[in-house]
Amino acid sequence: MTLLVIYIRLNEESIMFFIAHRGNTQGIVKEKENHPDYLKRALDLGFDIEVDVWFTNGQVFLGHDGPEHLVDENFFNTIDPKKAWYHAKNMEAMYYLRQKSELNCFWHQEDDCTLTSKGFIWVHPNCPVLPKGSICVLPELRKTTSGIENCGGICSDFIEQYKKQYKS
C-alpha cells in the first residue's frame, strides 16, 4: 500500500528526490564522506542525504568501508527523517535503524534493487531497468541515462548537476 501511495504522489506532483550520496554534491570527496558536518552541508544546500550507518559494540558510526565517525543518539534527532536515506552497512545497523520507525532505511549489496523501509525502490547502478518512481542510484555509473526522467529520485555524487538537469 505504501508503494502505491508514493507512486501516486510522485506521479501527480512531479516530485523528484535529489539525494547527495554520502553527502557529496559536486563529486567524490572521500575524506569528507559520511562526516556529520559534510552531511549537514548537503542538507543546508537543499538536498536529501544517503548515509552509511554501522552499529558495533553498542555504538553507532557513519562510514562507507567501515565505522569511521562515531555519532550519538542525538545525531538522528538533528536530521529531518524525510530528508535522510540510511544505508545499513551491517545487520546490526539494520536492526538498530528499524527500531526507529520514522527513519527510511535499507540494506543492499549487489542486488538489482531493494525496498526501503518506507517503500521506495532503491535501484543499483548495474540494474538495466529503472522502474517508474524508483530511486536511480549513481546514474553516472550507468551505461545509459534512458529512463532517469521517470524516476522518483536520483542519488548521486554529482547531485547538483542532476538537480539542474531534472528539476521540474
Question: For 78-99, what is the HEC assignment?
Answer: CCCHHHEEEEECCHHHHHHHHC
pTM: 0.90
Expressed as residue numbers, the domain containing 90 is: 2-166
First to last CA, the chain: 26
In this structure, are residues 19 and 50 in contact, taking their beta carbons and an 8 Å threshold?
yes
Report which DSSP code applies to 113: E
The tally of domains found in the chain comes to 1
- The helix/strand/coil state of 62 is strand
pLDDT of residue 14: 56
pLDDT of residue 73: 87
Tens digit of pLDDT at every position of the chain (168 positions): 444 344 434 434 458 999 999 999 999 999 999 999 999 999 999 999 999 999 999 999 999 999 999 999 899 999 999 999 999 999 999 999 999 999 999 998 888 999 999 999 999 998 988 999 999 999 999 888 888 999 999 999 999 999 999 886
Cα distances (angstroms) measured from residue 147 to each of 69, 133, 135, 142, 164: 36, 10, 11, 11, 17
